[in-house]
Amino acid sequence: MDIRAFNHERDDVDKEVLNVPCAYLKRFNEVIPYENIHVIASDKLEVNLRLHFLIGKGIKVTSYEISDCLCK
């Protein structure tokens, strides 16, 4: 699941990736599957805030990645 903003440049456009930006998570949380998901975020703050929200809703987050990380 990609939680980056819509205007964020995406290198890997995949049909299996669910794109729900942070601002829309509360509104569209019913379309998020309650199975194991991998989250793609743009920074640490986005990861911390949104993973807390997703886990609180009962969604199983198994992994995440930060796309703008310079540590690659």
Cite the beta strand spans of the chain per DSSP E.
37-41, 61-66
Q: In this structure, what are the phi and psi dihedrals at residue 33, rounded to the nearest 5 degrees?
A: -70, 150
pTM of the model: 0.78
pLDDT tens across 28-60, in order? Answer: 888 888 889 999 888 888 889 889 999 998 999
What is the reported pLDDT for 17? 81
Strand-pairing partners, residue 39, are 64
